[in-house]
Amino acid sequence: MQITLEALRAIVGPAHVLTGDDVYSRRVDWMTGAPCQAGAIVRPADTEQLSKVMRACYELQQPVVTHGGLTGLVHGAEASPDELVISLERMTAIEEIDHVGGTLTVQAGAPLQRVQDAARGVGLQFPLDLGARGSCTIGGNIATNAGGVRVIRYGMMRQQVLGLEAVMADGRVVSSMNHMLKNNAGFDLKQLFIGSEGTLGIVTRAVLRLQPPTPSEQTAMVACPSFEALTGLLSQMGKALGGSLGAFEVMWQNHYRLLTETLGRHNPPIATEHPFYVIIESLGSDAERNATQFREALESALAQELIVDAVIAQSSTQRDGLWAIREDIEGLIQGLAPLFTFDVSLPIAEMQRYTDKLEAQLTQRWPDARLVVFGHLGDGNLHISVSAGSAEVSVRREVEAMVYQPLATLGGSISAEHGIGLEKRPWLSTCRSAAEMELMQTLKHALDPHRLLNRGKILR
337-445, CATH topology level:
Alpha-Beta Plaits (3.30.70)
pLDDT of residue 84: 97
5-89, CATH topology level:
3.30.43
Alpha carbon of 385 to those of 167, 173, 372: distances in Å?
A: 36, 40, 5
pLDDT of residue 333: 93
Least confident of 7-16, 24-33, 58-67, 155-164: 24-33
Reported as a pLDDT band with limits 50, 70 and 90, residue 100 is very high
Q: What is the mean pLDDT of residues 6-33?
A: 92
Reported as a pLDDT band with limits 50, 70 and 90, residue 243 is confident
- From the list 112, 119, 161, the residue with the least C-alpha distance to 138 is 112
Secondary structure E strands in 179-271: 202-209, 216-224, 245-252
Q: What is the mean pLDDT of residues 227-249?
A: 95
CATH fit for domain 94-209, picks 3.30.465.10, 3.40.190.100, 3.40.50.300, 2.40.50.140: 3.30.465.10
Neighbours of 130 (CB within 10 A): 18
Reported as a pLDDT band with limits 50, 70 and 90, residue 242 is confident
Distance of CA 294 to the CA centre of its chain: 28
Reported as a pLDDT band with limits 50, 70 and 90, residue 266 is very high
**Cα 374 to Cα 367: distance, rounded to the nearest angstrom:** 22
216-329, CATH topology level:
Alpha-Beta Plaits (3.30.70)
pLDDT of residue 131: 86
**Cα 174 to Cα 154: distance, rounded to the nearest angstrom:** 27
- In the predicted structure, residue 170 carries a pLDDT above the cut 80: yes
Reported as a pLDDT band with limits 50, 70 and 90, residue 2 is confident
Cβ–Cβ under 8 Å, residues 359 and 303: no
pLDDT of residue 280: 98
3-state secondary structure of 334: helix
Q: What is the mean pLDDT of residues 103-122?
A: 98
> pLDDT tens digit string along 274-298?
999 999 999 999 999 999 999 999 9
**Cα 214 to Cα 248: distance, rounded to the nearest angstrom:** 17
3-state secondary structure of 260: helix
Reported as a pLDDT band with limits 50, 70 and 90, residue 23 is very high
Q: Same CATH topology for 94-209 and 337-445? A: no
Reported as a pLDDT band with limits 50, 70 and 90, residue 30 is confident
Alpha carbon of 285 to those of 77, 218, 290, 323: distances in Å?
A: 40, 11, 8, 21
pLDDT of residue 3: 79
pLDDT of residue 1: 76
pLDDT of residue 343: 96
pLDDT of residue 38: 96
Reported as a pLDDT band with limits 50, 70 and 90, residue 301 is very high
Longest dimension (CA), the chain: 72
**Cα 8 to Cα 1: distance, rounded to the nearest angstrom:** 12
Q: Where are the domains of the chain?
A: 5-89, 94-209, 216-329, 337-445
Q: pLDDT > 90: what percent of the chain? A: 96
- In the predicted structure, residue 123 carries a pLDDT above the cut 80: yes
Alpha carbon of 113 to those of 69, 116, 130, 424: distances in Å?
A: 12, 5, 10, 28
Secondary structure E strands in 31-143: 34-35, 40-42, 64-67, 84-87, 94-98, 103-107
Q: Give the type of residue at 8.
A: L
Reported as a pLDDT band with limits 50, 70 and 90, residue 29 is confident
> pLDDT tens digit string along 391-421?
999 999 999 999 999 999 999 999 999 999 9
